[in-house]
Structure 1
Amino acid sequence: MSNWSRNTRWPRRIAAVASLTLLFALPTTVHPDAVPTVGAWVSPTTGRGDPGVVLRPFDPPAHDWLPGHRGVDLALPRGGPVRAAGDGTVFFSGAVAGTATVSIDHPDGTRTTYQPVIATVTAGDTVTEGQVIGTLGTDPRGWPGLSWGARRDGAYVNPLGLLPRPLIRLKPVDGPA
């Protein structure tokens, strides 16, 4: 065996071990934008633990006064049902800057916001997880889908962090796929 082939095996082995270590560490890593929750919440578009199609991800600004995307946009056809992500009390139902909006306060201190939603609920109503709170309207800025936001302790958080973590299963490398 030449010195060249002997010396090139170690970097490959190190890369393989590092890759496997990273792969097994990922499922237990908590995303910094994740919101720890006591119970499982549901997506306002699917009514399940999976969010459906994310059209525009959470992209918070470095400072409150800078532009950014403080929620996520989820695919939903106009007129589709919008559901409460968790149990709570409707804090606001009306227009904000010309956009139909519903905000819900949840017992854990989280406030979720849904836009543009033609509400079937009013401020003060108690809602349950998965309950239809309205239908998707038309965004005056032309954005498609549902804009879903969440705030906790005065800070915007990634609402996808409210949903249950997906179960990740790895298939054996040596066995049949």
Structure 2
Amino acid sequence: MSHAHRPLSPALTLAALALLTLLLPLPAHAAPGPPPLIARANPGPPPSATRAVAGPPPFADGSGAAPPAVGGVWPVGLRPLVVRGWEPPATAYGPGHRGVDLAAPPGSAVRAVAPGRVSFAGRVAGRGVIAVELRATGNPPLRTTYEPVRPSVRKGTEVTTGDVLGTVEPTARYHCPTPCLHWGLRRADTYLNPLGLLPPWLLGGGPSRLLPLGGGSGALKVPWAGGVQVMEGGRWAGGGVDPEPPRVPDHTTHHTISHQAGPGG
């Protein structure tokens, strides 16, 4: 026996729909995933296009000024021949000539060119070296070096202009073609031209050696290998640099002294 189903009233129908709506799950929303393991690098500010300004090279006087002319005598003789001039290297270990070579036979007296204190007197790489810190030449002071020399003074000795420091020693191997004295000048690690220590009258052999050039300016004749060279206005005429003397092979032993010897140039 079948029973007829009675239709639901509208009120019951609405109530059933409302209940069904509450029971059904809401649509899922995608949850944010974990952050990526590799984040994009922050580019940051762009690199500066300004290049660092390099300081003066270690073997050039950054001020451009010549050393003070405090010298009163040549280190050897009255006016020795300059066998080879000052040729500053472009780099610390580059080729060059860190001083000047003065013709001097073995046994020649080596004199202090200016007052100062002996800061080194001994042997370096088999040769005698003397260094003198010059008085009243700033901080750090100028330091002159002489080699190869047989010292007659000790470290700490106070000397004045013209005092004998020792004698040129004979050496079988050196960078001069004939016996010579290597004379150097430094301020800390900066090499300078030692000829700048000498006043013009001494470079030219005395005021009587002044020769007028064009424009009435004064010029000095300085003895040099192969003749004389002209200095005008404190600079070598014809380019403002030391004249190029005859080239002489520069032995490795000399460069070794230049860098190993605490005193010297």
Structure 1 residue ranges without an equivalent (≥5): 1-31, 173-177
Per-residue Cα deviation, 1:51-101 (whole angstroms, up to 9, x for no partner): 420011111111111122100010111001000111111000001111110
State the TM-score, normalizing by the size of structure 1. Answer: 0.71
* Structure 1 match to 2:123: 95
* Structure 2 match to 1:129: 161
Counterpart residue identity of residue 158, structure 1: N
* Structure 2 match to 1:77: 105
Identify if the C-alpha distance between structure 1 residues 61 and 140 changes in structure 2 by more than 3 Å, giving closer, same or farther: farther
Q: Does 1:41 align with 2:69?
A: no
CA RMSD in angstroms comes to 2.2
Q: How many residues align?
A: 138
- Following superposition, the deviation at residue 171 of structure 1 comes to 7.6
Give the structure with higher Rg (CA). 2
Structure 2 residue ranges without an equivalent (≥5): 1-63, 202-206, 215-265
Cα distance in 1 for residues equivalent to 2:102 and 2:160: 20
State the TM-score, normalizing by the size of structure 2. Answer: 0.48
Contact 2:72 2:113 in 1 (8 A): yes
Per-residue Cα deviation, 1:5-46 (whole angstroms, up to 9, x for no partner): xxxxxxxxxxxxxxxxxxxxxxxxxxx683233x34321012
* Structure 2 match to 1:14: none
Q: Percent identity?
A: 43
Identify if the C-alpha distance between structure 1 residues 62 and 91 changes in structure 2 by more than 3 Å, giving closer, same or farther: same
* Structure 2 match to 1:169: 211
Greater Cα offset, 87-96 or 161-170: 161-170
Identify if the C-alpha distance between structure 1 residues 171 and 106 changes in structure 2 by more than 3 Å, giving closer, same or farther: closer
* Structure 1 match to 2:132: 104
Which structure is higher in RCO with an 8 Å CA cutoff and minimum separation 6?
1
Contact 1:99 1:140 in 2 (8 A): no
Counterpart residue identity of residue 42, structure 1: V
